[in-house]
């Protein structure tokens, strides 16, 4: 299972929110590149980078941060937030994103997101399936929908999507543990999915459980920034995995 730290960006700064609520913003660093370099120094190879300004707008905003991290580290970056049209997608890839996470676009413009999967391949595209009470939420989680989470994933699996990031919004940034039952349900009902668990990670002991369950990766945010899980622990986990 891949360890994927998260860097969420508002106005160029590294922040974390609780349950996606922008009013709960807490700034952890003015230098996202230095944070990314710390991750890399501890053997981490993947990074989840989210443009929270972009998520609220119609286009990518913090692409300079993406470009900086991509050119000055070797981290494989999946990028999301504001990818709602072909121009934003082009900017993200040209700025160094290895993969793109599509959430709002996959709901609001199914035809375009499906076109991207066909054009760029399912190794490049990740389905962002963020949910509240198993209903998909979009636009920086400010909008809820009537779409059932599992149905949504299954529909895109039929369009050859492989990677899915699933965040239980009620858990995100709350340090109360991940949604084990929800992830078990998804893995059972969506055989072959490469599920990346996100939201609620609070202790190191939760990581082996997610690995045993069959998650392809797990995204860790506030638990790192609040020193609940140390980078040394993650480094040892990565070493022992091999």
Q: What is the pLDDT of residues 194-241, one digit of tens each?
A: 999 998 899 999 999 999 999 999 999 999 999 999 999 999 999 987
At 17, the pLDDT band (50, 70, 90 cuts) reads confident
Which residues belong to the active site?
8, 130
Identify the pLDDT of residue 41. 98
**Cβ–Cβ under 8 Å, residues 196 and 168:** no
Q: What is the pLDDT of residues 89-99, one digit of tens each?
A: 999 999 999 99
DSSP-based three-state secondary structure for 1: coil
Identify the CA nearest to 47 among candidates 17, 24, 25, 69. 69
pLDDT band (50, 70, 90) for residue 4: very high
Q: For position 57, which CATH number holds? A: 3.20.20.70
- Considering the chain, what is the average pLDDT of its residues? 93
For residue 157, the enclosing domain spans 2-241
Domain count, the chain: 1
Cα radius of gyration (the chain): 16
User: Can you give the pTM of this predicted structure?
Assistant: 0.93
What is the structure's pLDDT at 141?
Answer: 56
Helices (H), 121-179: 149-157
Taking residues 101-110, what's their average pLDDT?
92
- As a whole-number percent, the residues of the chain with pLDDT over 70 amount to 96
Q: By mean pLDDT, which of 63-72, 75-84, 102-111, 168-177 is the weakest?
A: 168-177
């Amino acid at each position: 299972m891949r360890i994927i730290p998260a860097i969420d960006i508002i106005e160029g700064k590294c922040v974390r929110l609780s349950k996606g609520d922008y009013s709960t913003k807490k700034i952890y660093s003015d230098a996202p590149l230095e944070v990314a370099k710390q991750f890399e120094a501890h053997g981490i190879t993947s990074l989840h980078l989210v443009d929270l300004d972009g998520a609220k707008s119609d286009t990518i905003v913090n692409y300079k941060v993406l470009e900086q991290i991509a050119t000055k580290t070797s981290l494989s970056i999946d990028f999301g937030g504001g990818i709602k049209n072909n121009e934003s997608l082009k900017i993200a890839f040209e700025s160094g994103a290895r993969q793109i996470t599509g959430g709002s676009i996959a709901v609001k413009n199914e035809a375009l997101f499906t076109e991207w999967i066909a054009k760029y391949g399912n190794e490049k595209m990740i389905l962002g399936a963020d949910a509240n009470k198993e209903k998909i939420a979009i636009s920086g989680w400010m909008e809820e929908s009537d779409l059932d989470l599992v149905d949504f994933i299954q529909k895109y699996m039929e369009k050859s999507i492989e990677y899915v990031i699933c965040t239980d919004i009620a858990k995100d940034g709350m340090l109360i543990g991940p949604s084990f039952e929800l992830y078990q349900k998804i893995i059972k009902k969506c055989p072959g999915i490469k599920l990346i668990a996100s939201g609620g990670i609070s202790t190191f002991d939760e990581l082996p459980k997610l690995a045993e369950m069959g998650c392809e990766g797990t995204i860790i945010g506030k638990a790192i920034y609040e020193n609940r899980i140390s980078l040394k622990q993650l480094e040892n986990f990565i070493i022992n995995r091999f």
